[in-house]
């Protein structure tokens, strides 16, 4: 990446994450990037396209891959692999205090038109993969039910990201820390399969690793 362009993205990422799109100032971004005002138009076109580029860059830095390679195993194990991927690549962001994570969370709560590009390039492929797995688990299910099943899986996972501060205060930060991503991914998988009548009830005596 051109060094000026890279500096602009880094400076804009911090500015947008701290202030949001409307309050962020191009002059502040250019000053922080040691670039002149014309550099934004040259590299990106305008403020909106700069924001879109920065948001996509935030997703690229937060996630190493768009969708996982989860093989051809049984549908239940493919679901487990997807949920583990989701915890590693999406939920893990709650543990980072970076402009990328802050900007992503800001965009989710205060969406802009740039979210359409993020959904198309990053979120939709993952959701489509989850739908294909759930379709294997529940063949013949109608589209509305299929979407609801997928949202239920995603919702269980995202709860651990969106409510981290509250959860830590409810059970204590050390207890929350003990609920590692591998443990939680297995729990969500087993809970989902049990709810669908495809597995035994979640074991009440299972405990997370210390």
All structural domains of the chain, each given as residue ranges with its CATH number in brackets, are: 3-56 (1.10.10.60), 63-195 (1.10.357)
Residue 65 has pLDDT above 50, yes or no: yes
Least trusted range by pLDDT, from 60-74, 109-123, 157-171, 181-195:
60-74
Can you list the alpha helix ranges (DSSP code H) found in the chain?
A: 3-23, 26-32, 38-43, 47-62, 75-89, 99-109, 114-118, 124-137, 143-162, 164-171, 173-178, 181-195
Q: Tens digits of per-residue pLDDT, 113-162?
A: 999 999 999 999 999 999 999 999 999 999 999 999 999 999 999 999 88
Mean pLDDT of 190-195: 94
Confidence band of 200 (pLDDT split at 50, 70, 90): low
Tokens of 80: 């487990």
Q: Tens digits of per-residue pLDDT, 2-41?
A: 699 999 999 999 999 999 999 999 999 999 999 999 999 9
CA distances from 201 to 82, 94, 138, 197 (A): 21, 29, 18, 9
CA–CA gap between residue 81 and residue 132 (Å, rounded):
13
Confidence band of 210 (pLDDT split at 50, 70, 90): very low
**What pLDDT shows up at residue 164?**
87
Least trusted range by pLDDT, from 66-80, 94-108, 180-194:
94-108
Mean pLDDT of 178-196: 94
CA distances from 142 to 96, 134, 153, 158, 198 (A): 38, 11, 17, 24, 18
């Amino acid at each position: 990446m051109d060094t000026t362009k890279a500096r602009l993205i880094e400076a804009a990422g911090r500015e947008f994450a701290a202030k949001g799109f409307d309050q962020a100032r191009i002059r502040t971004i250019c000053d922080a990037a040691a670039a002149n005002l014309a550099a934004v138009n040259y590299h990106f076109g305008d403020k909106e396209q700069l924001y879109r580029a920065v948001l996509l860059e935030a997703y690229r830095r937060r996630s190493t891959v768009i969708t996982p390679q989860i093989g051809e195993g049984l549908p239940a194990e493919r679901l487990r692999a997807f949920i583990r991927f989701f915890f590693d690549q999406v939920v893990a962001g709650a543990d980072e205090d970076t402009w990328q994570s802050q900007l992503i969370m800001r965009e989710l709560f205060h969406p802009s038109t740039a979210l359409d590009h993020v959904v198309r390039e990053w979120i939709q492929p993952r959701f489509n993969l989850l739908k294909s797995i759930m379709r294997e688990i529940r063949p013949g299910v109608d589209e509305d039910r299929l979407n609801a099943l997928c949202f239920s899986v995603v919702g269980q996972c995202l709860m651990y990201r969106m409510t981290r501060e509250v959860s830590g205060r409810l059970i204590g930060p050390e207890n929350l820390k003990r609920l590692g991503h591998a443990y939680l991914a297995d729990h969500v998988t087993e809970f989902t399969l049990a709810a669908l009548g495809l597995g035994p009830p979640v074991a009440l005596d299972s405990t997370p690793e210390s």
